[in-house]
Chains A and B, each alone.
Chain A
């Protein structure tokens, strides 16, 4: 079964850091670009970051550029999102999603909840 499972979410104080992981199974992880997308409580979807299959291309939304770092370990079938200098507005459910050649996202995880609050 094709699956993505996020972990690492939690409650963190403003200004602190957190690292999310997304473990892939059921497909050849190293063949796909991957995205992080987030959804604030009661709000819509916001794209956060992208990394290509071989890590050659990395893109960030302006709202997280300079604070978040996307990375991957193809040997471990794992995608990461290192989040630093967290703000209250980063509070959201963070999804990882598989990105197909055309850019659409055909497999999503269940999400990892991040709450930034003192």
Chain B
């Protein structure tokens, strides 16, 4: 199975700050036939269901603010929030769907400094 490792596990941030979080997979998520990375990012706010932020490693979902930026390819991926807002405090999960046995990273929790 593909193992997804997210770092850091938690991060204290201030409003307006730029934040980056990492997601590494144990094998490449880049499918050679279509040049797509099978990697998604989800946001889960306290007491709520997860919501899809980014698919194909870098494609933002409709309605997701452009301060959320997904990047990376192969085994190394990053989610950047260019200027954190109070409503962004949540846990962020990466997830691979290259291998039909879907796996999630352990999550990165954003907290207020």
Contact = CB atoms under 8 A, between A and B. Distances in A.
Interface stretch (A20-28, A40-48, A82-90): A40-48
A108 interface: yes
A11 interface: no
Contacts of A62: 1
Nearest to B56: A102
B103 interface: yes
Nearest to B97: A103
Nearest to A57: B100
Interface in A79-118: 95, 100, 102-106, 108-111
B47 to A, nearest CB: 10
A106 B101 contact: no
Nearest to B50: A108
A77 to B, nearest CB: 19
Interface string B35-56: 0101010101000011110011
Contact of A46 (B49, B52, B100, B104): B104
Nearest to A45: B104
Contact of A108 (B38, B49, B91, B104): B49
Contacts of A110: 49
Contacts of B105: 44
Given A35-B102, A59-B100, A102-B56, A44 B93 contact: yes
A108 B36 CA distance: 24
14 contacts: A44-B91, A47-B95, A47-B101, A59-B100, A102-B97, A103-B98, A104-B40, A104-B55, A105-B42, A105-B50, A106-B61, A108-B49, A110-B49, A111-B49
Given A102-B38, A104-B56, 13 more contacts: A45-B42, A45-B93, A45-B104, A45-B107, A47-B95, A95-B49, A103-B38, A104-B55, A104-B97, A105-B40, A106-B52, A108-B51, A109-B49
